[in-house]
Structure 1
Amino acid sequence: MNTLATAQRLLRQLKHDKRTVAMLLAMPTLLMVLLRFVFNNEMAFSKAAPAMLGVFPFTIMFMITSITTLRERTSGTLERLMTTPLGKLDLLFGYALAFGVVAVVQVTIATLVSVWWLGLTLVGPLWILLVITVLDALLGMALGLFVSAFARTEFQAMQFMPVFVLPQILLCGLFVPRESMARLLNWLSDVMPLSYAVDALFHVTSSTEFTGTLLRNLVIIAGCALLALMLGAMTLRRRTP
């Protein structure tokens, strides 16, 4: 009940922030449309689009969640909530549930537009593609919740983008196949969860099989999101020192 109450409170707040809602729901789709016209070719678009369906929601959810949670921290809202019987995990999973609902709507719109209008060729089942993109958005959300604890201003929160997001984008196999990278870079890509999301997205657009590797990638993405939430719970305090 506490988790649901927290999620409902956040969703009500988001409802009144129409610009944020518009950015969350429309931006990934608009970026996919832009990408389609940049390539101006369905075949080229189908090669690049799967990875971007993971990267765009991941990045946007990280940015929005880190700033929104930071506002709650700096305004004293989180501190006041922590003086109640509300548990840390109730609070964090409430945030995860609220932003998770947004993530589901966000990636569903972007994926359906990409497949049915922009010409993304999909070999595997559509539902697997939706699961992967939702997990990727939830991963960005969880990391945003976690890093918000280490920022004091919104500008500082944005400074974590080059630390937590950009290296993952560069090393996830989007520009260069991971196996052709130098050994150190390949090792770094192996410990970055976005790499497994991109691998899973490429797999579902090229194969109909639900393999053990695909299942492993999904488990890793979900596990990293859960770990980030747990670490975020550790940063919550019942009162300011």
Structure 2
Amino acid sequence: MTTHPASAPAARLRPYFATTGRILRQLRNDPRTIAMILVVPAVLMVLLYFIYADTPTPPSQPFTLFDRVGMSMLGILPFVVMFLITAIAMQRERSSGTLERLLTTPIAKLDLLAGYGSAFSLAAAAQAGVACLIAFGLLDLDSAGNPGWVVLIAVVDAVCGVALGLLASAFARTEFQAVQFMPVIVAPQLFLCGLLVPRGELPGWLEAISNVLPLSYAVDALNQVATHPTATGAMWRDLAVVAGFAVVALCLAAATLRRRTA
């Protein structure tokens, strides 16, 4: 049988693009999910601004408390929101039978999950862009570095949330079970990422745990942008670690995804 070299890659990527397009159309037709992705993080940033609006800045600190906390939240909020939406949406795909039907086709699991991941990652990029626009343009969030680096870190962190959401959905049987993974996967990262207490001041065993959590590196990368006028090697290293977590989570999700029969 003769195979045209130019058509082989296109045929290989067709299921991936078809899955990505289908999920994007579903998101476009779901106003509540769009509001959750685009509006909620921006509203929470505004709320955070008013919480710290009258908090005095210590003389020794170059940034206000809102600048410090708000910078970290630009990485935390996309991660949390995209994890929750992805886990629930994937479980909804399973409960509706769509995912089961797709798993009976020759499409590769990694291609299937890559399609889901790409669609939600595009939504995550829009979310990070809106949140950063509100923070820097409306709320005057101050940073020594370029806000563009903040957007990049927020997007990569949101993609990591998408990948972990896909992984969590592989172990959930209902949407409620998908939500139950929030305190298991997300809450420890919120406590140990350096938002509440600098990671260097944590007890040794908690610092060791924080060293293997992706959100810790996202917050560290954002802190690098907040305090340095140019991109640093530490920022790129932390960003690469977060991206590595996303790739590993996506591969694990593909390995654990299987068809379930009633």
The TM tier, using the shorter chain, reads over 0.9
Partner-residue secondary structure (3-state), 2:228: coil
Task: Tell me what 1:91 maps to.
Answer: 112
1:112 is the counterpart of 2:125: no
Distance 2:172 2:23 in 1: 20
Gaps of 5+ in 1: none
Partner-residue secondary structure (3-state), 1:209: coil
Task: Tell me what 2:187 maps to.
Answer: 166
Task: Tell me what 2:23 maps to.
Answer: 10
CA shift digits 1:70-94 (9 cap, x unpaired): 1112222111112222111111110
CA shift digits 1:171-192 (9 cap, x unpaired): 0000101111101000000000
Change (3 A) 1:238 1:163: closer
1:153 is the counterpart of 2:174: yes
1:239 CA displacement: 6.0
2:79–2:158 CA contact under 8 A, matched in 1:
yes
1:62 CA displacement: 0.6
Task: Tell me what 2:159 maps to.
Answer: 138
Structural mapping, 1:178-193, within 5 Å: 178-193=199-214
1:126 is the counterpart of 2:139: no
CA shift digits 1:124-153 (9 cap, x unpaired): 122211110001111111101100111111
**Higher relative helix content:** 1
Task: Tell me what 2:49 maps to.
Answer: 36
2:214–2:241 CA contact under 8 A, matched in 1:
yes
Task: Tell me what 1:81 maps to.
Answer: 102
Distance 1:75 1:116 in 2: 41
1:209 CA displacement: 3.0
Distance 1:24 1:127 in 2: 20
Amino acid at match of 1:207: H
TM-score by length of 1: 0.96
Task: Tell me what 1:63 maps to.
Answer: 84
TM-score by length of 2: 0.89
1:237 CA displacement: 2.2
1:169 CA displacement: 0.4
1:238 CA displacement: 4.8
Structure of larger gyration radius? 2
Paired residue total: 241
Distance 2:206 2:259 in 1: 40
Distance 2:26 2:198 in 1: 42
Distance 2:108 2:28 in 1: 25
Larger relative contact order (Cα-Cα within 8 Å, sequence gap ≥ 6)? 1
Distance 1:238 1:55 in 2: 32
Distance 1:14 1:130 in 2: 22
Distance 1:157 1:107 in 2: 23
Task: Tell me what 2:197 maps to.
Answer: 176
Gaps of 5+ in 2: 1-13, 55-62
Percent identity reads 51
Distance 1:230 1:90 in 2: 10
2:193–2:216 CA contact under 8 A, matched in 1:
yes
Change (3 A) 1:73 1:174: same
Partner of residue 239 from structure 2, selected from 218, 222, 227: 218
2:78–2:158 CA contact under 8 A, matched in 1:
yes
Partner-residue secondary structure (3-state), 2:261: coil
Distance 2:101 2:256 in 1: 15
